[in-house]
Structure 1
Amino acid sequence: MYGYGYPYGFYFDPTYVLLIIGMILALAASGKMKSTFARYQQVRSHSGLTGAQTAQRILNAAGIYDVTVVPIAGSLTDHYDPRTKKLALSQDVYGRTSVAAVCVAAHECGHAIQHNVNYAPLNIRSAIVPVANIGSSLSWPIFLLGLILSIPALTTAGIVLFSLAVLFQLVTLPVEFNASSRALKMLESTGILSHEENAGAKKVLTAAALTYVAALASSILQLLRLIILSGGRRRDD
């Protein structure tokens, strides 16, 4: 048995510390993103363009005319789907004229531009989506089954599957940072945001990027926890 013994058979697993650190990082990044978005959601852009109008102007400026901008329910559910070439903007972005709405719309346009120019990291991320989904859904059940039955091959398989999910998040980082970089350049070159508004735009996009950094850090810590637990069980055996 791994962990430290307590009376009446209770044990403390020290690897929970890694899990707690990961949760704190994710919550902190999410909180920062939401507070920054809420702050600049109250600031109207000088151009007066809505998120949808912003997206359309940037796409046209980039020479992209086959992407459809559509509304989608929810908050911060914005995304670009390369399969259908649809750029979906949430209710807080699609019809809003705030700096935050403009930034989010521009960021999603960044993904559409990546797709249009065959940006390699985006293609790699799209290619590993199926295996990453399998890895994230099956890794823990297989790993726990391996621990319970004391079958090292299963615990190793669980670790490998979880590594695929971590790989997906690792590839996601350059994709997201590049999309934000493209967004800032397009917002400036098209005159959608003034020079004074660029500082706010950078804060919104940086806060969004931090959520992906935190997610990767959290996943790496979970992967480390799996490795430690697997090694501890093998020593006990």
Structure 2
Amino acid sequence: MPYMFFNKTYILIIIGVLISAWASSYINSTYRKYEKVRNKNGYKASDVARLILRDADIQDVGVTQIAGDLTDNYNSHTKMLSLSERVSESHSVSAIGVAAHECGHAIQDKEGYAPLKLRAALVPAVNFGAKISIPLILIGAIFFSGTPMLVNLGILCFGLTFLFQVVTLPVEFNASRRALAVLAENQALDDEELIMARKVLTAAALTYVAAAVASLLQLLRLVILYGNRRD
């Protein structure tokens, strides 16, 4: 079945890869630009994270440093806010923006923000669907017997990945809005620095948009390929 993998629909994958590559390049270049700007208050990103958590009366969340480059994350199960080596000890506007964003997720968790809870609930199904989607599609295509049941099921499982990306968008946008609001409220950054931090967080948000678009294009390709097979 070479046609299933080498035909004109492959352009959709290429487009997705290019969009994702552009988004990744944009966030890296934007982060590097404002990584050179030291915040005027002299705060470290990890200090700002602890300050935000304290002001939000979040006492059950720890702040730790992890390896990697921009691997920052908040884990609602372990109640741990992890800052990458590049961010944790940095005094830059970029680092503070990223740290505040992760604190935004911790605040969402405390307040029971519905999209965050939905995203967490989707994780097991998405992981399972990602593992079995392509095998189901291949088996359904190879042993096609007049019913698209397996192929449809495989596409549905793959669609969970796209659903997860869509649910992720409001979670990330909301966390960034919370981050900028709290940075302004506690005056960790001044007005000029807030503009810089907003640019960093906007660039970061575009990576999630790119991921959703790439996932949609992959899903569309599978639908087109299945339709071609029925024909």
TM-score (norm 1): 0.93
Q: Confirm or deny that 1:203 pairs with 2:199.
A: yes
Q: Distance in 1 between matches of 2:2 and 2:45?
A: 52
* Structure 1 moving runs of 4+ over 3 Å: none
Does residue 64 (structure 1) correspond to residue 58 (structure 2)? The answer is yes
Match of 1:24 in 2: 18
Cα distance in 1 for partners of 2:189, 2:22 equals 28
> Does the alignment pair 1:218 with 2:219?
no
Q: Unpaired segments of 5 or more residues in structure 2?
A: none
Pick aligned residue for 2:139 from 138, 145, 149: 145
- The question of 1:229 aligning with 2:225 is answered yes
The percentage of counterpart residues that share the same residue type is 52
Q: Name the CA distance, whole Å, in 2 between partners of 1:32 and 1:137.
A: 30
- Among 156, 160, 164, the alignment partner of 2:156 is 160
**Aligned counterparts of 1:116 and 1:107: Cα–Cα separation in 2:** 15
Does structure 2 conserve the Cα–Cα contact (< 8 Å) formed by 1:125 and 1:172? yes
Count of matched residue pairs: 229
Deviations 1:171-222 (A, max 9, x none): 0000000000000001100111011111111110000000000000010111
Q: Which segment drifts farther, 34-43 or 224-233?
A: 34-43
Would you say the 8 A contact 1:33–1:207 is kept in 2?
yes
Listed one character per residue, the Cα deviations across residues 31-63 of structure 1 (whole Å, up to 9, x for unaligned) are: 101111111111111111111101000111111
Q: Which consecutive residues of structure 1, in runs of 5 or more, have no partner in the other structure?
A: 4-10
Q: Report deviation, 1:2.
A: 8.8
Which one-letter code corresponds to 1:108 in the other structure?
E
1:181 to 177, 181, 185: 177
1:7 is aligned to none
Q: Secondary structure at the match of 2:40?
A: coil
Counterparts of 1:131 and 1:16 in 2: how far apart (Å)? 27
User: 1:2, 1:232 within 8 Å by CA — same for their partners in 2?
Assistant: no
> For 2:27, which of 30, 33, 36 is the aligned residue?
33
Residues of 2 paired with 1:172 and 1:119: CA distance?
A: 12
Length-normalised TM-score, structure 2:
0.95
Listed as ranges, the matches of 1:30-179 within 5 Å are: 30-150=24-144, 152-179=148-175
Q: Are 1:51 and 1:94, in contact at CA under 8 Å, matched by a contact in 2?
A: yes
Tell me how far apart the structure 2 counterparts of residues 42 and 2 of structure 1 sit (CA, whole Å). 50
